[in-house]
Amino acid sequence: MEGLRRDAARNRDRILEAARRLAAQGDDLALNAVARAADVGVGTVYRHFATVDELEEVVVWDRFDELDRVLTMAGPDRFDRTLTEHVTLLTTDPVFEKVTARSVAVLPQTAAKRAALIDGLAQVLEEAQANGRVRAGVDATSVLLLACGAAHSIRSAQLTPGSDAAQVVLDVILRGLRP
């Protein structure tokens, strides 16, 4: 992060790395637990992240970046790939799902990433509608709601995102969006 001393930047990186490890293990990102996992004092964690919500948001910024890359990839199936990747990320990363489900982002950078995601999805959606791949009257917010619902269903059924059963869920949604 810009403007941090090298030792402070190293500590921040250690905190984020530890938080990602804990999240990958399915553990909550309590600031005390993150401090222990990062081998730093809890005060150090609080200097970088005033709340768990802030930490969670920063931990998943790379997920927004992954979706942005998918949104910018060309091809006639761009909409389908975007929806599939979004559902996969929501299903495999509960922290990302939690952050995207918040009505209001805590950090302005997260709000900007969310807005960019919605704008990018709206562009991909408009392109898919113009090419006859998605019916008129569907907006980006509706697609995001469908992605969240599909991810919740897949996770609740304890399905693997790439499994045949999970693919059926995505196929039903995609067919329902067709003209």
CATH number, domain 60-177: 1.10.357.10
Q: What is the pTM of this model?
A: 0.86
C-alpha separations of 106 from 23, 102, 175 in Å: 19, 9, 35
Q: Hey, is 163 helix, strand or coil?
A: coil
Hey, what's the torsion of the CAs at 141, 113, 98, 158, to 10 degrees?
A: 70
Domain regions of the chain by residue span: 6-58, 60-177
Alpha-carbon gap, residue 152 to 158, rounded angstroms: 10
The CATH T-level fold of domain 6-58 is Arc Repressor Mutant, subunit A (1.10.10)
pLDDT tens track, the chain, 179 positions? 556 678 878 999 999 999 999 998 988 899 999 999 999 999 999 999 999 999 999 999 999 999 999 998 888 889 999 999 999 999 999 899 999 988 899 999 999 999 999 999 999 999 999 999 999 999 998 999 999 999 999 999 999 988 999 999 999 999 999 99
Non-local CB neighbours of 50 within 8 Å, separated by 6+ positions: none
Q: How many Å separate Cα 23 from the centre of its chain?
A: 13
